[in-house]
Each structure stands twice: as C-alpha cells, then as structure tokens.
Amino acid sequence: MEKKLRTPHATRPSARKSAKQKTAFQEFWRRFKKNRLAVAGFVIVVIYILMAIFADLFFSYDFITENQISNAFAPPLTTAEIDLNNGATAQHLYILGADNFGRDILGRIIHGARVSMVIGFTTIAFAGIVGSALGAIAGYYGGKIESVIMRGTDILLAIPNILFALAIVAALGPSFQNLLLAIGITSIPAFVRLMRASVLTLKNQEFIEAARALGARDFRIIVRHIMPNCMAPIIVQATLGIAQSILSATSLSFLGLGIQPPSPEWGNMLSDARSYISYAPHTLLFPGLAIMTVILAYNLIGDGLRDALDPKLKR
C-alpha cells in the first residue's frame, strides 16, 4: 500500500525536491540581491568576519596589548620606533595612529572585531535556540506551560535590556562569560514572542494535522514541520539581534562593566579615549566608526532580509 502511494513521486523524487528548493532560494536571493544596500551590508559583515578570523595574521595579540609608551597618541599614518620583546627595536607604521599607551589602534580594532563578532553570534545563537524552543513549546502546547513561559517573558521584557544586563554584570562581576550571559538572556524574549506567534498561526493547519494523523510525535512535528515554516521572522530578528548585542556589549564595556582592558574591545577603547577627546581625537574616531559600520551593516542586512522574506511583497 505504502509503495503504491509513493509511485507518483518515485520517478525522480530527489530531483524534484532539489529543483523546488533551489527555486525558493533563488527567488529569495534574486529579491535580496536587488537591494543594493543589503548586499553592501552583507559584504561589510563578511569583511568583519574575515578580519575577526584572521586577526592574528595582521597583528599579534601580544603586540596590540603591549604598551609602547614612547609612541602614545601617535597620529594616524606615522612611522615610529617600537620595542620588540627581545630588546631590539623596529619601525612600525601606525595606520590609524596609537592610543594612550602607544598601542596600534588599527590592530586593536581588528582584534576587537573578533570579540564583537563572537559576542554577537554566541549570544544570539543562545537566545535564538532557547527563545525559539520556549516560544514553540508555549505556542504548541498552550495552557499552563504557555502562561508560565509568557508571564516570564513579560517580566523579562519589563526590565529594559541594558538595565538588566547591567544588573547581571553588577551582580556577577564584569567578565567575558558574564557579559555573554547577560546579553544572551536579555535577547531571549523577542524570540519567544515571535516563535509563539508563528506557531499559533501554523499549528491548526492541515499539514500539521496530517503529520499528527501519520503518528508523528510532538517533538518531530515541532522541529520538522513547524519550525522550518517559522524561520523567516526568526532570521530577521537574529540579524537585527546581533546588531543589538554588539551595541549592548560595547555599551557595557564603555561603562567599564564588560571586556576589561588591556583586552581590545571597541567599547573599552572608547572609554579610554574619553579622557583624551581634546588631545587625541583619532583615538575616539576610529573605534566608533568600527562599531557604527558593523551595526549599520547588520541593520541593512536585516532590512533586506525582511523585504526579501516577506510573503506580502511577493510578486
């Protein structure tokens, strides 16, 4: 019986499937590509990711955390003598100048990209997985579980993001792990709400009933049938969420509650620069530009994805 039912597809099931998926993706890509700004954002993010991965090829970590006091505040594009560990000296071109300890700003920005990218991706991966799971459970099962999850979400949402992150870091002490935890937790509610809303609209549709009639378990229905259909808003939220995470992390570091110096992080670079605004504005300018471009890029991608994935705009 089962075999008979399958015969219509049996001719070339895999070919059919891949053709269909390809067109769906092609359709998405065609629409995303049309949005020049979104593509530009994508390119910028790729550049930052490459910078983060290959940071050590450009500058060694030791070099950008070591003080070269004699070169403090060297303006951009100056060549100065630096001390190497073995007592020798070498000429070094400070492309974006040096900070208050004579450390290379470009190098610190590149290594800072690593910190920011890691924070952006891990916090949103964590919040996306936990939040989507909770949202799916709340939407699928309803009842008491839903009430508990949604009230919890309401309470989390009632505390402003930055304030909550501040409270967590204040309680647990400023460290990289606590920063990740703080930002990760504050990013959860948005995903819970989105996922629950999508699941609610999907769960009574026929293909879900069909899956249930075939004896699929709840877990399988949620993971294989519901979740893939809820991905569009989640992906958009994740992209914008990464921007938000990076911004929160730099803000906390700026307040001295995030990544601690001498570790390079854009926010703590700006915190140092604050004391020397009138004396060395370049120490202020470049780390801020780095933050702004990366946030802008994620926002552009987010806008582009939203337009490209929005079924209302399908023509």
Partner 1 sequence: MTRYIFRRLLMIVPVLVGVTFIVFSLTYISPGDPARMILPQDATDADISHMRHLMGLDEPFLLQYVHFLFGFKSPSEDASFSYKGLLALDLGRSYVSNRPVFKTILERFPNTALLAILALILSVILSIPAGIISATHQYSVSDMVVSILSLLGLSMPAFWLGMILIWIFSVKLRIFPSLANPANLKSLVLPVITLATMNTAVQARMTRSSMLEVIRQDYIRTARAKGLDEKKVIRKHALNNALIPVVTVIGLQVGQLLVGAVLTETVFSYPGIGTIMVDAIQRKDTPQILASVVFVAIIFALVNLIVDIVYAFIDPRIKAQYESMSKARSNGAARKGT
Residues that bind partner 1 (CB under 8 A): 151-152, 154-155, 158-164, 166-173, 243, 247, 250-251, 254-257, 267, 270, 273-274, 277-278, 281, 284-285, 287-288, 291-293, 295-296, 299-300
DSSP 8-state assignment for residue 227: G
Measured from the CB atom, the residue of 39 and 255 that comes closer to partner 1 is 255
Q: Give the other-Cβ count within 10 Å of 33's Cβ.
A: 13
Least distance in angstroms from the C-beta of 220 to partner 1: 32
Least distance in angstroms from the C-beta of 249 to partner 1: 11
Least distance in angstroms from the C-beta of 121 to partner 1: 18
Q: Give the other-Cβ count within 10 Å of 93's Cβ.
A: 12
Measured from the CB atom, the residue of 68 and 268 that comes closer to partner 1 is 268
- Cα separation, 134 vs 189, in Å, equals 9
Least distance in angstroms from the C-beta of 291 to partner 1: 5
Name which of 307, 50, 2 is nearest 10 in CA terms.
Answer: 2
- Cα separation, 133 vs 226, in Å, equals 11
- Cα separation, 287 vs 274, in Å, equals 12
- Cα separation, 139 vs 151, in Å, equals 13
- Cα separation, 224 vs 207, in Å, equals 12
Measured from the CB atom, the residue of 122 and 299 that comes closer to partner 1 is 299
Least distance in angstroms from the C-beta of 85 to partner 1: 33
**Helices (H), ranges, the chain:** 2-10, 13-34, 36-53, 55-58, 61-65, 105-141, 143-158, 161-172, 176-202, 206-213, 218-220, 231-254, 266-273, 281-309
Measured from the CB atom, the residue of 19 and 292 that comes closer to partner 1 is 292
Report residue 253 as tokens: 């570091």
Least distance in angstroms from the C-beta of 62 to partner 1: 28
Measured from the CB atom, the residue of 74 and 291 that comes closer to partner 1 is 291
Least distance in angstroms from the C-beta of 266 to partner 1: 9
Measured from the CB atom, the residue of 48 and 63 that comes closer to partner 1 is 48
| Phi, psi (deg, nearest 5) at residue 158 | -75, -15
Residue 139 near residue 229 (C-beta atoms within 8 A): no
Measured from the CB atom, the residue of 48 and 164 that comes closer to partner 1 is 164
DSSP 8-state assignment for residue 71: G
